[in-house]
Amino acid sequence: MEPSGRVLDQSGCTILHVDMDAFFVAVELRHRPELHGKAVIVGFPEGRSVVLSASYEARAFGVRSAMPMATAMRMAPAAVVIEPRHDQYRKVSAGLMALFNSITDKVEPLSVDEAFLDVSGAIRRLGAPLEIGALVRRRVEAELGITASVGIAASKFVAKIASTRCKPNGMMLIEKDRTVEYLHTLPVQALWGVGAKTLEVLQRLGIFTVADVAATPVTVLTKTLGASGRALHELSWGIDPRPVTVVRVEKSIGAEETFAVDTFDDEVLTRELLRLSHRVAGRLREAQLAGRTLALKIKYSDFSTISRSKSMAAGMDSAGQIYAGAVGLLRALGARPQSVRLIGVRIEALESIDSAPLQFTLDRRDDNGRSAEVVGDAIAAKFGAAKIVPARLLRSTSKHVEPDAGGPSGNG
């Protein structure tokens, strides 16, 4: 019901966009409740770290995700900085996705903390869309100890707008028959695809609102923006026919690291590859997945990025295999034209370990190495931070300064 007392028309509004509120911060506050209501930032407090998540109290000072930590600390010098614990975020995310799948079998995850849900098949069982949205919010808070914002609409695009507009810890339904009326009250940057550069181009044309886009001939938009001009025009009229696409298995698992100081040093690069290989392998085994494609990512000091990949005949889930392949790709690049700012490893073409044969050579050390890693998994599961790592990594002094790259994260 609207504040005016008018009953909302829920017909046709079967798509929910569910987004956690400041996800990483919210997970941390479960263990540190004394920080509720305070400015909190999740990130590493030194080097060239970036903000991974910020509480709404910190955002009031202008702090935003992906902002350099040095900038964030100048804006909110009294903020409490908490170093990220990605293993905890993955566990809560797994519980979140399981919760969504208990509501409907049509779930499209967008990141670790948000998803689209098509609840058309759940209405008879659970009630109208607003009732289902309220149920999702109650269960997220009761079962996971965090809060969610829910947008409800007839399309994915509009549901996403609704969840953004009702943050934090809110719910909003945009009626199907009033979608265009609502969209035309919004600034043009509310449309998908309107970033800083596109916004500048549109403003030069005198386009500042979604209504302005709708009133502009498609020919003018396509001449200026190409094919995306037509897409923007359709969105301005609420046209978004894309269905909720069920996604069950991760497409890739990876990790990357930005160095505190750019480096040419092969010892530093290969040691970091070893660390990243163990991190990725652990995640693969935790998810019971193996991958057939190994990718290496390098970002140079001028921010130019290159990647190289190789495919295997069978799946990989051991750090030894990943490390050997990554070092091979690194060496194949030859002499580096400039110092390296970031290095990353990713395993793609994932399959369930039950259906994917694992890649081994005739050397028994391959199997022995994987067995040692599995023992390390068991130790980490039992004792938390305590784990088995190669002795070479004990000498490492690198710091985690970028968001972990196991998958996208939203921290709305």
Contact in structure between 58 and 42 (CB atoms under 8 Å):
no
Please state the rounded mean pLDDT for residues 195-204. Answer: 91
Structure tokens at 205: 């044309």
Is 19 annotated among the ligand-binding residues?
A: yes
Domain 184-236 part of CATH 3.40.80.10 = no
- Torsion, CA 276, CA 325, CA 301, CA 24, rounded to 10: -30
283 token code pair:
């995640």
Question: What percent of the chain clears pLDDT 90, i.e. is strictly above it?
Answer: 62
Q: What is the pLDDT of residue 76?
A: 95
Is residue 123 pLDDT above 90, yes or no? Answer: yes
pLDDT in tens, 23-61: 999 999 999 999 999 999 999 887 678 899 999 999 999
DSSP 190: G
* Contact between 323 and 273 (Cβ < 8 Å): yes
367 has binding-site annotation? no
Sheet holding 53-54, edge to edge: 53-54, 40-42, 80-82
**pTM tops 0.75:** no
Find the length of the chain: 412
CA separation for the pair 118, 103 (Å, rounded) = 10
Query: Which pLDDT does position 370 carry in this prediction?
Result: 56
Identify the H or E element spanning 171.
Answer: strand 171-173
Q: Where are the domains of the chain?
A: 1-176, 184-236, 252-394
Catalytic residue among 114, 272, 373, 402: 114
Which residues, in sequence order, are CB contacts of 4 under 8 Å at separation 6+?
Answer: none
**Number of CB atoms found within 10 A of residue 26's CB:** 26
CATH class for domain 252-394? alpha beta
Q: State pLDDT tens for residues 86-105.
A: 889 989 999 999 999 999 99
Catalytic annotation on 200? no
Residue ranges of E strands in 266-384:
289-300, 305-316, 340-352
Furthest-apart CA pair in the chain: how many Å?
A: 74
CATH pick for 1-176 out of 1.20.1050.10, 1.20.1370.20, 3.30.70.270, 3.40.50.620:
3.30.70.270
DSSP sequence for 237-253: TT---PPPPP--S-SEE
Query: Identical fold at 184-236 and 252-394?
Result: no
CA distance linking residue 356 with residue 5, whole number of Å: 57
